[in-house]
Amino acid sequence: MNPSARLSAAIEILTVMDEQRRPVADVLRDWGRSHRFAGSKDRAAIGDLAYDALRVHASAAWIMGDASPRAVLLGALRRIRGMTSETIAGLLTGQDHAPAPLTEAELARLDTDTLADAPDHIRGDIPEWLAPSFAAVFGQDTAAEGEALSRRAPVDLRTNLLKGDRAKAERALKHLGPEPTPYSPWGLRLVHSDRAPAMAAEPAYAKGLVEVQDEGSQLAALLSGAGPGQQVLDLCAGGGGKTLALAAMMENKGQVYAADADGRRLTPIYDRLARADARNIQVRAPRGTQDVLADLAGRCDLVFIDAPCTGTGTWRRNPDAKWRLRPGALEQRCKAQDEVLAAAVRYLKPGGRLLYATCSVLHEENEDRIAALLAAHPDLLPLDAGVMAARAGVPQLGNHASKSGPGLRLTPRTTGTDGFYIAALTRAAG
């Protein structure tokens, strides 16, 4: 396929998304199945175009004065790829499967319109209904934080300390040009200018030396303080990424219990355990109405909560998710977070620690939830963010302490990670 035909395909995919309100990954997969003539490079390039358009949907629509799929894609070519109107016009010929030529109005928009007068939520590509929540957190930096959440994310890897150290992983992946992550002592970063590398084909990944994991997720595990011999409950384990990091911190000594209210989310964990050589993990999948964690009540040194959330901190990786998110979802997530936090207290032993993390940047899902928990449980005490960071060996993270309560807030703009909130509480020793 030529570049112009790829533009037409991307417009088609964005149109289907709009009409059917489906995730872009699903639409791309179905498009590939029904267009077998498109090679892997074509599908990758078309996917990149669609994702770029979704990253800057609001600002591209503002520039073009039109929110149609075609207009948004044209605006994205200018916003993200820096194309001039002449370059874009050269692609839109109307021939050989190319989109129709630019209209005079489109040319004028591409040449003269700017974001100078746009509100923060447009410049930051933030859903308008979330603008007040973002402003409450970031104030005058709202647009800049949103812009950072709209850029492509690097590929971060976590070295599995059960298989080797970061230097070993760096040597094994030398051909990919890995760089140590700024904060995590386990992390390597692959900054790709085009397509992300296919990690599943890399021996270092296949043999369990590295796992794909954003540095923010790595730091959440690091800040938990998990250590050899402890009893640790990962209450929202999902696919097990942080579970594996905890097991490595514990050097396969002690016990990690991996649980999740949705047993389907635990499915990937079994293969990952074998690949990582993690032998101190028990998976506690739901069994009907049976309380599969009853024996852990009051026994845990650490309860780790990677709470269900809106995912506002992961928009770099899931740009379509922010436009599909609806106000009711935030309320539902806050309710679920309160429920999991209330349940977690049951398992903490006196002197035990609770680590709460979300991939959200919103007060509602973070500081507000911790404040509600502290009000309900006077025996829980927040750990100072600077102290938490220093104990974990990353004192520089203390500079990112929340100004609205306990915990740390990480963002692409300030730390180069996904957006994360991380807070630690301890239970009074009695």
Q: Give the catalytic positions in this structure.
A: 359
Hunting for tokens 């591409």 — which residue is that?
110
Q: Quick one: DSSP state of residue 359?
A: S
Contacts for 87 with CB less than 8 Å, ≥ 6 apart: none
From its phi and psi, is residue 262 left (phi > 0), alpha (psi between -120 and 50) or beta?
Answer: beta
SS3 207: coil
**CA 316 → CA 20, 27, 114, 238, distances in Å?**
23, 19, 23, 20
Tokens of 303: 């309860």
Residues forming beta bridges with residue 258, ordered by sequence position: 234, 283
**CA 253 → CA 185, 201, 232, 299, 349, distances in Å?**
20, 30, 11, 16, 19
CA-nearest of 415, 353, 410, 365 to 220 is 410
Angle at 153 between CA 148 and CA 156, to 5 degrees: 130
SS3 315: coil
Q: Give CA–CA dist 168/190, Å, rounded.
A: 16
Q: Which residues are annotated as a binding site?
A: 260, 306
Q: Give CA–CA dist 58/99, Å, rounded.
A: 22
Contacts for 219 with CB less than 8 Å, ≥ 6 apart: 183, 184, 392, 394, 397, 410, 417, 420, 422
CA-nearest of 394, 424, 387 to 184 is 394
The single-letter code of the amino acid at 200 is A
Asked whether 410 and 424 are in contact (CB, 8 A), the reply is no
Tokens of 121: 């939520």
43 φ, ψ (degrees, to nearest 5): -60, -40
CA-nearest of 57, 348, 60 to 230 is 348
Helices (H) and strands (E) in the chain, counts: 20, 12
Between helix 241-249 and helix 269-276 the angle, nearest 10°, is 30
User: Within 13 Å of residue 194, how many CA atoms lie on the same side as its CB?
Assistant: 6
Contacts for 35 with CB less than 8 Å, ≥ 6 apart: 9
